[in-house]
Structure formats: C-alpha cells, structure tokens
C-alpha cells in the first residue's frame, strides 16, 4: 500500500490531537501549574510532528526536518515535565532549548540533503535515548513513587529505550545504508518504529491518567474538607442555639436580680415605716396626723415599687417605653426627696446646679431610677470613706443638642483595675450588691440614644456623666 506510512502517522496524529483536546479541557478547568504546561507542550509537539510526517511525502520532504525537530522538542519537554514534578524549572531554560533545536534542525537538514537515512535515524535515536534515560532518572528522584500511573510511565519509557535501540539495529540489518527515507523503510524496522510510537502514546496516556488520579484524590480531599466544614457549621449552629438559650436564661436571671436589687429601697423604706407604725401603736401614742403621714409614705413607697417593676419589665422586653417630655430638673428634685433622709443621716451636703428648661423625651420612672442609682452609689462611697466634709455635686446643663447631667462626689473614687469593667453586668466592688446598678443605668440611657461614662472628679472622687438628646416644645 503506497500511503500506508502516511495513513498510520495521520491516525496517530489524530489520536494525539484528541488526547490534547480532552486533556486541555480537564487540566485547564482547574489551577494550572508548570508541570501541566510542560506536559501539554510536549503533547502538542508530538501531535504536530506526527501530522508533519503524514504530510511530508505529498507536500515537501523539507517537512521531515520540521517533523523531526518537533519530535526531538517533545522528548526534551517531556523530560522537563518529569523534572518539574520535583524541582521548579527556571524560565530561561526555554531559550536554551530553542537554541539547541535550531542547531538540530540545521544539522538534520544538512543530513537530509547530503547524508544517509541511517545517519538521520541514528541522530534522532541517540538524542531520544538520552532523553528517555534523563526522564527515568527524574522519575526516580520522586521518593517512593506513590502514583500507579507514574510507575506505569517508568515501564513505558524503559520500553521506548529498548525499542529505540532495536529499531536502529533492525534498520542496519535491513540495509539502512540504502534506504532513501522514512517512507521506504524495511518491514522489521518500520514495525519496531510503529511499536515505539504506539508506546510513546501510552506514555502520554499514563501522564493523563496521573493528572486524573491526582484530580480524583484532590476531589476526595475537597469532599472530606467540605464534610468537615459542614460539620463545623452544624456545630456552630448548635453553639449559637445554645448561646441564645443561655442568653435568654441570663436575661431572665438579670431581670429577676434587677427587680430584687431595685425593690430593696422602697421595700426597705416601707419596712421602716411599718416598724415605726407598730411601735407607735404598741405605745398607744399614734395620733391621726402621724398615722396619715406614715400611711401616705407607705403608699408612696408602694407606688414607687410598682413603678420600678413596670419600668424594668419594659426595659427587658424592649416594648413601648411610654415616653413623654419632662423637665430634667423635676426628675432630680423627685429623686432628692427620696434620698433626703439618708443624706441627712450620713451628713452629706448636696450642691445643685441645674439649668432651667432642660427638656428630655423619656420614661420619667426610668431616668429617675438612673439618677437614684448614681446618688446611692455616691452616698455609699462617702459613707464608707473617712471624708469629713462629704459632698455630692449635681450639674445639669445644655451641651449643643444634648442635655448633660453629672453626679460627682469627693469620696475615694473607683480603683484603676475596675474602671474598664465598671458598666459590665454583675460586676461590682461593693461588699454587698449584685453589680446591676451601673449596668442598668447604661442599658436605660443607651435606649434613649444617649451615653454614660465615668471620669475621675477634679477634687478627687468619682464623677458620672450622662448625655441625652434634648427635646423641644
């Protein structure tokens, strides 16, 4: 058959082009690296060389020079691929390869025109065998080749070395000195050549199998990591649910503790009035005026306790706050009336300076509670100090579009280590109490778009500053 060699080359070329198309689709879909690029380059050069071998006899025998140059280039780039599996290839290697290929092309063309076919085969066989040995050496650098596909590649390259030598020997025996070109090669050497080229295709298939094997392992790892992430997300959801449940429980506990804490004052006052009333009744010296005064006081304490419960309930449920426009000065006066007996018993002076017309939009009971907490803190701090002239200063002024209220004392102040956690829930420096007062103050003030902060008083002691948005008529 006249064109048998050309048909075989064309079939092999189509197989390689199909392999290249499929492998590019697989390898380029993910992250590309140097090894993949080198292998694809080698595969492209081999497919190109087979195509040129198929066309050379009908177009121009000069294509044989180009075909063999591409063939040698494919050996070199396949060797670089094997090396890149363990070591990064420098970029300047491409220039050296191109220079070497140019020299080979010139030498091969010279042999094609003036030399013998067996000389050309010998040149290609020697370079090919050297490249195959190099490829084996680079693969052996991979300690304990774990890939079955790379182990198969070692076998195919070893077979290629054997077939390269066998072909040259067969060509010599078949009368290679009289063979004009590739297309008139003897049957034995030609058969070995086709076996050699077929094995070279298997080498490329082995590498593609290696990439697919690696991709499969990566997919398994990704699936495993995805499963771990899913488990972590589920665990996160469980933790969030647990925290929400714990937070709800903590909020309920804080509400209960806050109610107990805030009710201590009116209940304590009621208890004193009841004891006083019982004492008068036992002595028989209770007159109507005194009885009415005590009952009025008890009623007032009862109302204050009810207001505290209602106020705290609205705070923790974040419901309607029933705000209204009130004068800050009136709220301060109400609170001072409550603490006046305690101020007198502990010999504490009040210095009051309040601007007129300071209007705020709030629930009056809540802000009264804030002021009462700050005053009680100041009273307790002064009572436990050795200060002789005990003094609490209350200032209320306009500050731009805000109203600023400050409560300061000349007591011992707050210790440095405790300042950072002053407004935290259940944090206290007192011997008694649950650390709810200042936290509750901050909670109430921030609900109205304001803020509260602590400062060291100029003359020593503690100073708490509150800012609230100013309301307008």
Tens digits of residue pLDDT in 314-327: 555 555 557 889 99
Cβ-in-10-Å burial (0-12, 13-18, 19+) of 23 comes to buried
pLDDT grade, residue 309 (50/70/90)?
low
Q: Is a pLDDT exceeding 50 seen at residue 435?
A: no
In the predicted structure, residue 436 carries a pLDDT above the cut 60:
no
Q: Is the pLDDT of residue 431 over 60?
A: no
Tokens encoding 221: 């790892």
For CA atoms 8, 9, 12, 14, give the dihedral sign: negative
- What are the domain boundaries of the chain? 4-231, 321-469
Tokens representing residue 420 in the block: 């950072």
Q: Residue 134 has what DSSP assignment?
A: H
Assigned token pair, 109: 């063309």
In sign, the C-alpha dihedral spanning 17, 19, 20, 24 is positive
Counting Cα atoms < 13 Å in the Cβ hemisphere of 312 gives 23
Q: What is the pLDDT of residue 27?
A: 66
Q: What are phi and psi of 468, to 5 degrees?
A: -130, 150
Question: What is the architecture of the domain spanning 321-469?
Answer: 2-Layer Sandwich (3.30)
Residue located via tokens 């509670």: 369
Question: What's domain 4-231's architecture?
Answer: Up-down Bundle (1.20)
Conformational region of residue 31, where left means phi above 0, alpha means psi within -120 to 50, and beta covers everything else = beta
**Considering the chain, what percentage of its residues have pLDDT values greater than 70?**
84
Quick one: tokens of 274? 């009841």
d(CA 208, CA 314): 70
12-31 average pLDDT score: 79
The answer to whether the pTM exceeds 0.95 is no
Q: Is residue 74 predicted with pLDDT exceeding 90?
A: yes
Helix axes 34-56, 63-84, angle to 10 degrees: 160
């Amino acid at each position: 058959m006249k064109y048998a060699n050309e048909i075989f080359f064309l079939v092999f070329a189509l197989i390689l082009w199909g392999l290249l198309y499929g492998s590019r689709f697989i390898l380029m879909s993910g992250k590309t690296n140097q090894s993949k690029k080198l292998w694809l380059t080698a595969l492209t050069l081999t497919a190109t060389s087979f195509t040129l071998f198929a066309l050379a006899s009908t177009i121009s025998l000069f294509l044989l020079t180009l075909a063999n140059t591409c063939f040698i280039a494919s050996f070199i780039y396949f060797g670089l691929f094997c090396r890149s599996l363990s070591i990064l290839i420098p970029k300047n290697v491409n220039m050296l390869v191109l220079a070497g290929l140019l020299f080979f092309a010139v030498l091969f063309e010279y042999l094609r025109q003036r030399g013998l076919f067996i000389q050309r085969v010998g040149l290609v066989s020697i370079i090919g065998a050297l490249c195959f040995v190099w490829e084996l050496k680079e693969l052996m650098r991979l300690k304990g080749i774990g890939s079955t596909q790379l182990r198969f590649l070692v076998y195919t390259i070893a077979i290629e070395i054997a077939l390269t030598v066998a072909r040259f020997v067969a060509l010599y025996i078949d009368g290679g000195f009289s063979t004009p070109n590739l297309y008139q090669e003897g049957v034995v050497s030609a058969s070995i050549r086709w076996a050699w080229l077929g094995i070279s295709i298997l080498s490329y298939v082995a590498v593609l199998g290696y990439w697919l094997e690696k991709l499969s392992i990566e997919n398994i790892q990704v699936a495993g990591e995805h499963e771990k992430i899913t488990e972590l997300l589920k665990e996160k959801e469980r933790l969030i649910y647990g925290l929400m449940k714990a937070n709800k429980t903590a909020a309920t506990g804080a509400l209960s503790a806050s109610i107990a804490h805030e009710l201590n004052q009116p209940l304590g006052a009621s208890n004193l009035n009841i004891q006083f009333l019982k004492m008068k009744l036992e002595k028989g010296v209770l007159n109507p005026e005194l009885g009415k005064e005590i009952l009025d006081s008890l009623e007032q304490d009862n109302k204050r306790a009810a207001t505290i419960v209602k106020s705290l309930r609205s705070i923790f449920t974040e419901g309607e706050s029933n705000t209204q426009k009130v004068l800050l000065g009136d709220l301060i006066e109400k609170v001072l009336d409550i603490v006046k007996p305690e101020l007198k018993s502990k010999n504490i002076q009040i210095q009051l300076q309040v601007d007129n017309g300071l209007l705020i939009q709030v629930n009056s009971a809540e802000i009264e509670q804030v002021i009462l907490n700050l005053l009680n803190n100041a009273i307790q701090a002064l009572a436990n100090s050795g200060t002789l002239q005990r003094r609490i200063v209350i200032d209320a002024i306009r500050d731009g579009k805000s109203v600023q209220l400050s409560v300061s004392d000349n007591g011992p102040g707050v210790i440095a280590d405790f300042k950072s956690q002053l407004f935290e829930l259940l944090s206290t420096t007192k011997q008694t109490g649950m650390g709810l007062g200042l936290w509750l103050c901050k909670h109430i003030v921030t609900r109205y778009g304001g803020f509260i902060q602590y400062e060291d008083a100029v003359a020593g002691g503690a100073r708490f500053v509150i800012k609230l948005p100013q309301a307008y008529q």
